Chain A
Amino acid sequence: MDKGIFPVGGALLEMCVLAALKPADTYGYALTQKIQQRIPVSESTLYPVLRRLKKEGLLSTRDEMIDGRNRRYYILTDTGKEKLAWYRKEWREFASGIQALLDEFE
């Protein structure tokens, strides 16, 4: 996949972060890896999103000591789960609209 053809930012990146956090609490580096395995995302855009989602109450954090240092895990809150469900619904509609358009004029 070529990077940057379809920029992942804004609502799309927010949705991807919420989705990646759904199965389990995840720390910064692992979260980046999870997302980057699927889509090209610049690491420098991820921290600002995490910070914003936390501020909005969609995520919370907990700190764990690993090898004598701190590791911060990000946790999806109930509000976050709710918003993720909303995003999924919106995305399905949008994606199927794009697909239908491409199919129609193929």
Chain B
Amino acid sequence: MNKVQYMRILEEELQALPQQEKEEALMYVAEYFDDSGLEEWEVAIQLGDPYEYAGNIKEELAGTPPPYPYSHDKKWNSRTQSPSSIPVSLPADAYGQDSALDHLDPERGSSLNIQDQPEPEQPARNRRSAQYSWKRVFSCYLK
């Protein structure tokens, strides 16, 4: 895989991002190729699966909270300040009848009409990954 091929997959995968976010990410990767001084296929291996690369960017933009958010009042570790509204223990029926956990219980499945529910569609990324096996394409280069 060369630079153009790698970038094309990234661009496609980042299509849904705001224009500026997409451009900055693509620019970073393009510069990475140019600055490395390596063969393009070597850089592509360093960067790894382009779908995974794009996935990490999308995940970050989807609002993964920073590990320890900075705030100017020096309260670095916001996790230590737990709001008092969180109950210490949950009531016995906290998960209710319609909890997603119920679907995992075959004993209770019948009462939930699971059969009537349509098959969830596979995420696009999984479909693409199945067609395209990064490791297989580059297996000859991998030790």
Which residues of A approach B to under 8 Å, CB–CB?
Answer: 10-11, 14, 27-30, 32, 42-45, 47-48, 50-52, 56-58, 69-72, 79, 83, 86
A57 to B70, CA, bound (A): 9
Q: Which residues of A are found within 8 Å of B31, using beta-carbon distances?
A: 27-29, 69-72
Among all A-B residue pairs, the 10 with the closest Cβ atoms: A11-B67, A48-B60, A29-B35, A10-B67, A44-B53, A44-B56, A29-B32, A44-B48, A47-B28, A28-B32
Q: Is the CB of A52 within 8 A of B66?
A: yes
DSSP majority for the B interface? helix
Task: Evaluate whether A58 and B60 lie within 8 angstroms (CB atoms) in the complex, with A29-B35, A44-B52, A70-B31 already known.
Answer: no
Q: A29-B36, A47-B57, A48-B60 are in contact. Are A58 and B70 (CB under 8 A)?
A: yes
A51-B63 Cα distance, complex, nearest whole Å: 12
In the complex, the answer to whether B35 meets A71 with C-beta atoms within 8 Å is yes
